[in-house]
Chains A and B, each alone.
Chain A
Amino acid sequence: MSILSEIPQLMVYGVVEGSIITLGAIGLSLTYSILKFANFAHGDMMALGAFFCLTSLAVLRFLGLEDSPFDPLSFGFNMVAALIIAMALAAATAMILDRFLYRRFRRAGPIILLISSIGSAFILRNVIQFIWGPQPQYYFKAIQISQKVPGLGVRIKPDEFFIVGIAGVLVIFLHFFLTRTKTGKAMRATADNMDLAKVSGIDTERIILWTWAIGTALAAAGGVLAGIENKFITPQLGWHMLLSIFAAVILGGIGNPYGAMAGGMIIALSGEISTAFLSTAYKPAVAFIIMVAVLIVRPTGLFGNK
């Protein structure tokens, strides 16, 4: 089999992976643009979301809620409920973290925030490990077999439609939130110029909390979807994706959620397609090299305008 004939299948993997990276990247891009710092704990928030979902599933099962899988999918209503609970819990965690930690550094500048976020990344990852343990955990036991798509020569698992679909729905929600609601517009204004937003009467502290909540909820969703796609979750889940997510954000232009989306897709597709030529172990390296290349050629990113 030639290398080229593998490419359609790799592109399918790329789109699925890209949906997950996009969810992480949008959240990171939002906090980056409003709080002006690179949040290194973002990946670990994804992992936290994935583990919140695991516990929510267990609680729902414990409460005796019926769970019959939606027909072609390997999970049912409980998974959707657990996903939403996990997003809410992760958002709450981020807001608490901001109140008790990050808020103290608002005047100290972006680098202190950055260092502090590296600290919270290690704290979060190890709190996860402390509570849930380092071994891989599973949302469900069933192993799904991928189905052949007639005419395209690729195999897709039904769950993967769900992953791409959920990511799509969340992105559309975010789009309407940012363009149609007052809070969303205030968020964009704050990202553009915080002082100007303040003098025009926007409560920027409230906007910052909203940003943490939305960005982290999206990250948590990304973590859960990564767990569905990989079939297991570990405390390292988010850290392993962090470089790709940063690459996606920088590629798309910091502060541009639509750019983050495009960046996520480009990074994931090029990572997957590179596996036709390179060892899979170097997939993260491909994302990184693209990122450095973009930083040199066009530091504002493909869609950035600042």
Chain B
Amino acid sequence: MESLVGILNYVIFFAITAGIFAMLSLGLNIQWGYTGLFNIGIAGFYAIGAYTSALISGPPPSALDWRTVGGFDLPFIFGLVGAIGVSGVAAFLIGIPTLRLKEDYLAIATIGIAEVIRLVLKNESWLTNSVWGIKHIPSPFHDPVDSMISTFLESHPHLPRWLLDIVSNGYNWLFLFLVLSVLIFLYFVSERMIRSPWGRVLRAIREDESVVAASGKDVFWFKMQSLVLGAMIMGMAGSFYAHYAKFIDASSFEPLYGTFIIWVMLIAGGSGNSKGAILGAFVVWGIWVGADFVTGRFGLAGFREGALRIIIIGVLLEAILILRPQGILGEEKFISKVLRNDRNGR
């Protein structure tokens, strides 16, 4: 029983992390899956969201910190809204010079911007505390929930061990609930949008920009909306990450975790499909975690284990691209109701 509870608690931890990755993957799905914007600087928006939220809702700098600004101790919701807003503004500014570029140039430009953001995080210690990172970022509703749990445990001193383990992990249940509700909300918003006329313009841009321009749509402006919206979702994921991990530094936003793995998730799940984006995040994160168990069995040195894990994910990506480029689910076909009836001859 105890080991079962241990597994359950691990599953919750797993689902929270995968849920945050699923948000990033949904954001990327709007940019790449719907609009064809080749953003390989996801880590940049993710980092902006995390740091904005940490600076708004985190503690003020301690005596040992290099950081001199931020830390207003405001409630989580302010940090979250701030993260969404600042990531959106950053995306807007980045979009102005880059969105007119060809797709491969956009790729190079976005990866460059993510690197510049990472350099700023590492070097501007007055703002980001550089390599020491920002510590003690409070989790939303943590203290009230914690005190509720401890009062409950005090009033029920003779709980069986397994129930005690579940109850004391109560906060993570709440956080998981929070992440999943946001994820479900994002899913419905994104599904609703792509079926709207606006979403059809985005998909048309992905297929052929010049046709859309010729039919009188402002391609640049639609691309901008898609970039900003996707980035806002990525910033939101950053905020959740910061408040769950409680500690952030520049190394949390390296291209591997911040960008590469999210691309693998979206491509594995099926780009252009919101269900696929979420499914891909859970599956790939499962493989990533599972690979850790496998590579741990060979008795390799620590650095070899880490490298082998990344090689496995890389090979997985190449295998998907060769064998099933549309991903597990592939893109859903949307056909207008009228046409659908016609096809069926009804």
**A residues with CB within 8 A of B:** 37-38, 40, 101, 104-105, 108, 110-112, 114-116, 118-120, 122-123, 125-127, 129-130, 133-134, 243, 246, 250, 279, 281-282, 284-285, 288, 291-292, 295-296, 299
Contact = CB atoms under 8 A, between A and B. Distances in A.
Contacts of A122: 256, 260, 310-311, 313-314
B104 A285 contact: no
A126 B112 contact: no
Given A130-B308, A130-B311, 13 more contacts: A37-B104, A38-B108, A115-B321, A116-B321, A118-B40, A119-B317, A126-B314, A129-B307, A285-B115, A285-B116, A288-B115, A295-B97, A299-B105
A111 B112 contact: no
Contact of A127 (B119, B122, B263, B311): B311
Interface string B281-325: 000000000000000000001011011101101110110011001
B112 A295 contact: no
A130 B307 contact: yes
A112 B325 contact: yes
A285 B118 CA distance: 10
Given A118-B263, A288-B116, A296-B97, A129 B104 contact: no
Interface residues of B, number: 41
B123 interface: yes
Nearest to B308: A130
A110 B38 CA distance: 12
B12 to A, nearest CB: 29
Contacts of A110: 103-104
A110 B318 CA distance: 15
A247 to B, nearest CB: 8
24 contacts: A40-B111, A111-B104, A112-B321, A115-B267, A115-B317, A115-B321, A116-B321, A118-B40, A119-B315, A119-B317, A122-B260, A123-B314, A125-B310, A130-B308, A133-B301, A243-B112, A246-B108, A282-B119, A285-B116, A291-B109, A292-B97, A292-B109, A295-B101, A299-B102
Contacts of A111: 38, 103-104
Contact of B112 (A112, A125, A292): A292
Contacts of B105: 250, 295, 299
Nearest to B103: A111
Contact of A119 (B103, B122, B321): B321
Contacts of A101: 318, 322
Nearest to A135: B303
B256 to A, nearest CB: 7
A48 to B, nearest CB: 14
Given A118-B40, A295-B105, A126 B310 contact: yes
B107 A38 contact: yes
A240 B119 CA distance: 12
A22 B98 CA distance: 25
Nearest to A38: B104
A114 B310 contact: no
Given A123-B314, A299-B101, A243 B122 contact: no
Main secondary structure of the interface of B (DSSP, over half): helix
Nearest to A243: B112
Contacts of A126: 306-308, 310-311, 314
Nearest to A239: B255
A245 B313 CA distance: 26
Contacts of A288: 112-113, 115-116
Which are the 8 A-B pairs with shortest beta-carbon distances?
A123-B314, A126-B307, A288-B112, A119-B317, A130-B307, A129-B307, A126-B310, A38-B104
Contacts of B122: 281
A160 B135 CA distance: 44
Contacts of B307: 126-127, 129-130
Contacts of A291: 108-109, 112
Interface in B256-279: 256, 260, 263-264, 267
Nearest to B104: A38
B98 A292 contact: yes
A243 B310 CA distance: 22
Contacts of A284: 115-116, 119
A123 B303 CA distance: 14
Contact of A133 (B102, B256, B303, B315): B303
Interface in B84-123: 97-98, 101-105, 107-109, 111-113, 115-116, 119, 122-123
Nearest to B97: A296
A183 B66 CA distance: 59
B108 A115 contact: no
A283 to B, nearest CB: 9
Interface string B241-266: 00000000000000010001001100
Contacts of B98: 292, 295
Nearest to B313: A122
Nearest to A280: B123
Contacts of A127: 307, 311
Contacts of B267: 115
Contacts of A118: 40, 260, 263
Contacts of B311: 122-123, 126-127, 130
A131 to B, nearest CB: 9
Contacts of B325: 108, 112
A281 B122 CA distance: 9
A295 B115 CA distance: 18
A104 B113 CA distance: 31
